[in-house]
Structure formats: C-alpha cells, structure tokens
Structure 1
Amino acid sequence: MKVAALRGERTEAAVRHVRRPRFSRLLRGTRSVLFALAACGAVAFSGAASAGELTGTLRKIRDDGVVVLGVREASIPFSYFDGERTVGYSQAIAMQIVDEIRKTLGLPQLRVHEVTVTSSNRTPMLLNNQIDFECGSTTHTVERENVAAFSDSLFQYAVRMITRKNSGITDFADLAGKRVVTTAGTSDERLLRSLNTRKQLNMRIMSVRDHQDAFTAMKEGHAVAFVMDEPIIYGFKATDPHPDDFIVTGTPLGYEVYACMFRKGDEPFRALVNRVIAHAQTSGDAERLYRVWFTQPIPPHGINVNFPLSEQNRALFAHPNDHALD
C-alpha cells in the first residue's frame, strides 16, 4: 500500500518566522538588551522543540499526510459498508478521533485512507503499520494487551447466539453434538471452545472469515447457531429480510467490551483517543450516537436494530475507563 507523503511537519523556516521583539522598545541598558536576546532565543528554541515533539502514530500521520483507518465490512451497526461508504456507531467515533488528529497536528486537509480488516488480520495489519488504528468491533481482552493497546471502552455487551426460531435451541447445552459457527480470531471463538472442552459438549465448531460468513452459514443450515457478540447478532437479525425467523438466545457466555485498538507504547496517541471518547461519553454525545445506531432506522435499508441502551453501558458512559472484563 502506497501512502502519499504530503508533509505536514513544521520546518526550520517556521521557526525563523517567530516574531522577534523590537529592540528599540527594549533597550534599557546592556542588561535589558541581553534579556531581550535571551527571550528571543527561548521563543525560537521552544518552536523547534514543539516541531520535534511528535512521536509514534501522530508523527507517522503527520509525515505521511494521511491517517490509515481500519474498518469492517459487516459489523452492523458498529462499522460496516452501506453500499456507498463505511458507517456505524464505532465509525462515527473513529471520525471524531480523526477530527481531533487534524486539530492537534494543524492539518485541516488531512486525508483518511480506509483499509478493510477482518477479525483475523486486524492485529497483524496494525503491527505491520498497514493501519494506524481501528475502531470497529474489537474486544479488549487481557491477552490482547500483550500485543496491542486499547482505548477507553466504547461498548459493553454479552456473548450469546442466534439460531432459527424453529431449531428448538434455547441455551448452550442444546448445542451438544451439533455444528456451531463463529468468527475466526474473535474472543467469542475462545469462549466457545473453552465451553466445549469444559462441558464436554462435543460441538463441531466452524470458524469462518467474518461475521457475514458466519451468519450466512447458520442461515443456510451449515450450522445450527452462530455464537457472537449480542449487538452484532441483533444487527444481523434486524437486517435479514425475515427477521422473525430467528431468535437471539442463550445464557451469556460472558461480558466483554469493545475498544479502539492501536500500537503499544504510544502514550500521546492513547491520550488523544481517550480524550475524544471520554468527552463523547460524559457530554451525552455517545448516548446520542447510540440512539442513532441502535434504536432508529439505519442505512442502507432503514432497519431498526431495536437494542436499547443497557444499564452497563449507561454506567460506562458515566465513568469512562479502559478495563478489560475477562
């Protein structure tokens, strides 16, 4: 992937343009002259220091003149392609972060290049600098902290399953000996395999590339249930032409949180991202976005996910934090 090198960095020329005091007003003897010269030098030094302060992701973005954002194709209603562009609850927050990057770097014309990622390749693409960050439907887990960093949580949810209404399945024990599908590289896959071993259910677990593939496998009868994050499977149910054919069911396998993901050891970028998320949550903007994407008709077909704000998410918005729940 070629990234345009539209330089946005400050140069020595910018430092030379620092306005120097008029000596005619400052000449009050030799001591005043020396003081004025020292002050001018301090201003110029300060400008040079600020030009070299940027590190990590912010410096990369400034040098390239573009921010590379990882997006999802079918994580409805968090990050998905509506036929024209990427939209969703997490995508809206990601674009707020991009706006803050523009302000911080003083680059109002900063471009955004979107790269589609999957549950399996998002982390390698981040570590290989193929994306700068992503805010889709990535679960923040303690294990993942070994390789990546995570922002304040965007969303808290339960892990459940979707199945056909006439399947006779109501809880995970009913999956014993049956074929079940989930998305490869997700924390849900880990939870499902752990349950299978712990309860000796002998499930035949299919791990597929992305959420759309998993839902299609269940819908077409290749698996009896699709195990995934509750809001995502509610999204698939709502967007199906026959939503009443499916039910979301099962005692939660656990509770987890979504967060934006970026490279480890980048405190300036973490601070910027968390500043945006915390402001959105405590100002009421996150709740407004929630209503837009979870309780109102959404593109492209005007469906309504009908997933009201939970008390857990209300508490998260009141007290932003970056705690993994596993």
Structure 2
Amino acid sequence: MRLRSLLPVLLAGLAAAPASAQDLTGTMKKIKETGQITLGYRDSSVPFSYLDGSQKPVGYAMDICSKVVEAVKADMKLDKLEVRLNPVTSATRIPLIANGTVDLECGSTTNNADRQKQVAFTNTHFLTASRFVAKKASNVSKFEDLKGKVVVSTSGTTNIKQINEYNAEKKLGITILPAKDHAEAFLMVETGRAVAFVMDDVLLASLAAGSKDPNAYLISSDAISKPEPYGIMLRKDDAPFKKVVDAATAAFYRSPEGKAAYDRWFTKAIPPRDINLNLPMSEALQKAFSTPSDSPDPAMY
C-alpha cells in the first residue's frame, strides 16, 4: 500500500524533471549534449554583424542572437551555456548551417523562398528596399521630386531596373545613368553629376555615413520596391529549436528593448569609427515588429 501511494508522487517527479538528451532532437539535443551553441558572424556586414576595433564580433544581429541564447538557456534549464563564434561568408553561411557547424547565423541574410528550401529563418529583423540618397541641398526627398533630373544607379542591379520602370510608368523624364559600382555611383552624387543614387537603403546609409560630410545627405522617405526581409538563419525541419527561437525574437521585437537595439545600431554612432547610419525604423519594420513573421514574401510587409 505504501509503494502504491508513492507511485503517483514518483511519476509526477519524473514528469517535472528536465528533459534528458535522449528526449530531445536536433539542435536542442546537440546543445544539451555539448553545453555549447555556435553563432555564425560576418566580419564586415555593418551594422548587422562585423568586427569592432578589438576584432570582436558586434552588431544588431549579434544582439538579437544573444537574446536567443538567453532564451535557449532558460528553456533548457541550463546552469551555463557556452557560446562559440564561427565566421561565415556569403558563400559558406548556408552550408555551415545545414551541416550543423553553426546553429544560428547572425547577419544580414535575405529571407526568400529559394533559401527556405535549404534553411529556416526566424522572425524578420530588418527590411531593406530601393530608395535614393541625395544631398539635402538638392531639395529632393521623394521619388516624384526627381522629375526631369539626373539619377544614377549601379549597372546590373535590380535597382536600376526598378528606377527605369518607375520612370517610364510615372512619365517623369528622369535621365538615368549607369555606374560601374556603388562607389562610383555615390561619387557622382557627391560631385554633382547626379542628383540622386538609387540603391538598397541600408547600403546607401552606410555610404553616406562613411562620406566626408555625412550630415549633407538624406535618404528618401519613400521606396520603389517592396520590402525584402532579413532574418536569422537556423536549420530546416528543426521545430523544437525554431519554436524557442521564434518566441524569443517575437518577444524581443515587441518589447521596448527591441526598438532600442535598432536605434543603437541605426540612429546612433557605432564603433569603431563612430559613424551614424541615420536610418530610422521604417513604418514597414515597425509593423513587422508588432506582428512578427518569418515570411519570405515581400507582399507580407
């Protein structure tokens, strides 16, 4: 009788015990067995993931990944969780996620349908779109202001195609010049050979911030493309891990802390050169933060 009365208590205790490695699968099992989680970082993807003056990986995406690590540690009830850092490039980031070397890729990777065939993404942390950079003295701030003016974009990009299509559709009479690369295109605006340079907004912000007089430039308030989402990558078909990562990023983006992290990296001076990208959060990203999504479809944003 005494053993019978103890049985429910023993079963309840077992149910409440932390899951063993045998009960887990995928990345959660790997983390439990090794006591480690590996973050992939970029060395020059400013301000998402890059090396600071002491060669330490820092950035907006690194901050997000740190929040995910905290959530994983809490969810698995671990006393400690070692964070390992592994460099990745555009060419290696997907293979290193897929083969298990890296658990989270903390960078500026576009979430699209093709990539989702190989890897998974958590909730969107940035939206880029085609805008233009111009000198404030030019008195242009929207695409309609470019009517009859000279505009440059980089040859071979989707951006130059978009501005040509926009120009034809709106009948604005814009003269569109091709540049061999981004540096030449920005120089044309800097020297007055073009009024504006059309490109991805975050790249424009970086070029303006690194110029001789960053305060002389502005980035257009409107865009001529749908937003393209960036997300933290993780392995495909790993539902238990993705559930924890999605919950962590959603909570972070909805909180004041998420907005503060964005402002820290996009609207304030950042190391090591103390440049300021002057790129306030767009309305589309504000919406994405309030209703987090891992959708690769630009139309969702």
With the length of structure 1 as denominator, give the TM-score of the two structures: 0.69
Root-mean-square deviation (CA), in Å? 3.9
| Cα distance in 2 between the residues matched to 1:144 and 1:279 | 25
Please name the residue that 2:30 is paired with.
60
Which of residues 95, 103, 128 in structure 2 aligns to 1:132? 103
Q: What residue number does 2:259 align with?
A: 287
Deviations 1:256-294 (A, max 9, x none): 111111111111111111111111122221111111111
Quote the sequence identity (%).
31
Maintained 8 Å contact 1:152/1:277: yes
Shift in Å, 1:58: 1.6
Q: 2:86: which partner in 1?
A: 115
Structure-2 residue corresponding to 1:39: 9
CA distance in 1 between partners of 2:49 and 2:102 (Å): 15
For residue 151 of structure 1, the aligned residue among 115, 122, 126 is: 122
In structure 2, do the counterparts of structure 1 residues 251 and 79 end up closer, same or farther at CA, with 3 Å as the change threshold? same
Give the conservation status (yes or no) of the 8 Å contact 2:43–2:87.
yes
In 2, the alpha carbon distance for the partners of 1:139 and 1:304 equals 23
Counterpart position of 2:155: 180
| 1:61 alignment partner AA | I
Query: What is the deviation of 1:316?
Result: 1.5
Kept in 1, the 8 Å contact 2:266–2:279? The answer is yes
The counterpart of 2:205, out of the listed 209, 218, 234, is 234
Name the amino acid aligned to 1:69.
L
Three-state SS of the structure 1 residue aligned to 2:129 is strand
- Aligned-pair distance for 1:218? 6.5
- The answer on whether the counterparts of 1:153 and 1:322 sit within 8 Å (CA) in structure 2 is yes
How far the C-alpha of 1:236 sits from its partner, in A, is 3.5
Contiguous gaps of at least 5 residues in structure 2: 137-145, 167-176, 189-193
Distance 1:157 1:81, change over 3 A: same
Counterparts in 2 of 1:140 and 1:33: CA distance versus 1, 3 Å = same
Deviation at 1:239? 3.0
Cα deviation for residue 159 of structure 1 reads 3.3
After superposition, the Cα gap between the structure-2 partners of 1:43 and 1:106, relative to the gap in structure 1 and judged at 3 Å, is closer
SS in 1 for 2:281: coil
Q: Distance in 2 between matches of 1:48 and 1:65?
A: 14
Q: Do the aligned partners of 2:179 and 2:185 also contact (CA within 8 Å) in 1?
A: no
After superposing the two structures, state which structure 1 stretch, 146-155 or 114-123, moved more.
114-123
Residues 138 and 260 in structure 1, CA contact (< 8 A), matched pair in contact too: yes
Q: 1:215 to 1:106 in 2, by over 3 A?
A: farther
**Within 5 A, what are the aligned runs for 1:7-18?**
none
Q: Secondary structure at the match of 1:289?
A: helix
SS of aligned partner of 1:109: coil
Of residues 23, 36, 58, the one that matches 1:87 is 58
Q: 2 CA distance for matches of 1:164 and 1:121?
A: 37
Task: Spell out, residue by residue over 1:157-212, the C-alpha distance to the aligned partner (whole angstroms, 9 max, x if none).
Answer: 213577999xxxx79x966xx9637xxxxxxx6x469869x99xxx9998xxxxxx
For residue 274 of structure 1, the aligned residue among 229, 233, 246 is: 246
Residue 307 of structure 1 aligns with an amino acid whose one-letter code is: L
Rate the CA distance shift 1:275–1:162 in 2: closer, same or farther, 3 A: same
What TM-score do you get using the length of structure 2 for normalisation? 0.74
Cα distance in 2, alignment partners of residues 157 and 151 from structure 1: 17
Aligned partner of residue 6 in structure 2, secondary structure:
helix
Given residue 93 of structure 1, which amino acid in structure 2 is its aligned partner? I
- Measured against aligned partners, the alpha-carbon deviations of 1:203-244 in whole angstroms (never above 9, x if no partner) come to 9998xxxxxxx76687799xx999863124312431345547
Q: 1:127 to 1:51 in 2, by over 3 A?
A: closer
Q: State the AA in 2 paired with 1:159.
A: S
Residues paired across the two proteins, number:
275
Secondary structure of the 1:126 match is: helix
Counterpart mapping for 1:192-207 below 5 A: none
Question: Is 1:299 matched with 2:274?
Answer: no
CA separation of 1:46 and 1:251: change in aligned 2, threshold 3 A: closer
Structure with higher Rg: it is: 1
Does residue 264 (structure 1) correspond to residue 236 (structure 2)? The answer is: yes
Cα displacement string for residues 58-93 of structure 1 (whole angstroms, at most 9, x for unaligned residues): 211222222111111122111111122111111111
8 A Cα contact 1:152 1:320, kept in partner: yes
Could you tell which deviates more after superposition, 248-257 or 300-309?
248-257
Alignment of 1:247-262 (within 5 A): 252-262=224-234
Q: Give the equivalent residue in structure 1 for 2:169.
A: none
Q: Is the 8 A contact 1:77 1:232 kept in 2?
A: no
- 1:105-152 CA distances to partner (integer Å, 9 max, x unpaired)? 333432222122122221111112221111211111122111111111
